[in-house]
């Protein structure tokens, strides 16, 4: 395909005022010259990478801006379907780890796909063909060629801090956090949205589509097996896990020896936490 500047001039300059015709004619020649030379390579989309007008980015005058290609709609649907099936298990962190995309991107995908589901229920028909065309133009990434960090936050790490304490003096994780002027680790984990089930929240008419994850198990009371103050300590609780071969993680017995010497069975939450620590790469859920 070739663009003819002379033909375009004759068709488009007849109705122009005399003083504007030469200027527009010159501009049009430049446009068609670019289309027939440098712009010719953009006639057919390259599906292997984004089709930027600039060499490495969308803005030639801002080469430092290099956005990541978007995630394909098929990957977005896979993410949303897993979340919709079990929101309590498939948190943004787990989805980010599985699909190798950032947690913030996961949250954005979940919210947009929830809105899409609402619109489809109301009779809206998504422009899937347009989506596929844009994916080709932007070089959308499939599942097997996505890799970006879960989070771009850099932890603040200071110099080592030493504190001498007498032998046998209680010094808990809370004491250490207070000494360092930080929150205890368990509070950090509890307050972290990355470790909690994600809730897509909308106001008013969108309330029907709110996702409120539910935990699978019921609250169970631990069973006290014995009590021996001599086996207790002043610092922490000990957790014992049955790790012999032949048992599935969910069937393994987990016991807790408290600081006061009480030996009891672990709660469901304690057992799940222990399973996550020992078999962190297996995603076992109780």
pLDDT in tens, the chain (286 residues): 565 655 555 555 555 555 556 677 778 888 888 888 877 877 776 766 777 776 777 887 888 888 777 888 999 999 999 988 888 888 888 888 888 888 888 889 998 998 888 888 888 888 989 988 888 877 777 755 556 666 555 556 667 778 888 888 888 888 888 888 887 877 766 555 555 566 665 544 444 555 555 444 445 678 888 888 888 888 788 888 887 777 776 678 889 999 888 999 988 888 888 777 776 655 566 6
pLDDT for the residue 218: 47
CA distance 247 to 226: 25
What is the structure's pLDDT at 143?
Answer: 59
The pLDDT of residue 200: 65
d(CA 187, CA 171): 17
Give the pTM: 0.47
User: Could you tell me which residues come within 8 angstroms of residue 187 by beta carbon, excluding any fewer than 6 positions away?
Assistant: none
């Amino acid at each position: 395909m070739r663009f003819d500047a002379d033909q375009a001039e004759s068709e488009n300059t007849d109705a122009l005022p005399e003083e504007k015709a030469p200027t527009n004619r010159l501009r049009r020649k430049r446009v068609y010259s670019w289309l027939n030379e440098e712009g010719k390579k953009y006639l057919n989309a390259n599906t292997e990478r984004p089709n930027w007008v600039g060499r490495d980015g969308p803005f030639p005058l801002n080469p430092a801006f290099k956005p990541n290609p978007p995630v394909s709609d098929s990957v977005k649907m896979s993410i949303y379907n897993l979340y919709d099936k079990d929101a309590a298990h498939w948190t943004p962190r787990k989805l980010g780890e599985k699909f190798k995309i950032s947690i913030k991107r996961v949250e954005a995908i979940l919210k947009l796909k929830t809105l899409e589901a609402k619109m489809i229920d109301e009779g809206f028909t998504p422009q899937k063909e347009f989506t596929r065309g844009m994916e080709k133009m932007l070089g959308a990434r499939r599942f097997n060629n996505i890799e970006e960090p879960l989070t771009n936050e850099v932890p603040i790490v200071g110099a080592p801090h030493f504190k001498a304490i007498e032998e046998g003096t209680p010094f808990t994780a809370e004491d250490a956090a207070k000494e360092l002027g930080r929150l205890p680790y368990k509070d950090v984990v509890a307050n972290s949205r990355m470790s909690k089930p994600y809730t897509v929240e909308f106001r008013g008419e969108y309330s029907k589509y709110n996702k409120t994850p539910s935990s699978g198990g019921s609250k169970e009371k631990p069973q006290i097996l014995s009590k021996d103050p001599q086996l207790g300590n002043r610092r922490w609780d000990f957790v014992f896990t049955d790790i012999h071969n032949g048992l599935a993680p969910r069937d393994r017995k987990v016991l807790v020896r408290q600081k006061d010497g009480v030996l009891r069975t672990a709660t469901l939450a304690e057992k799940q936490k222990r399973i996550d620590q020992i078999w962190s790469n297996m995603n076992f859920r109780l």
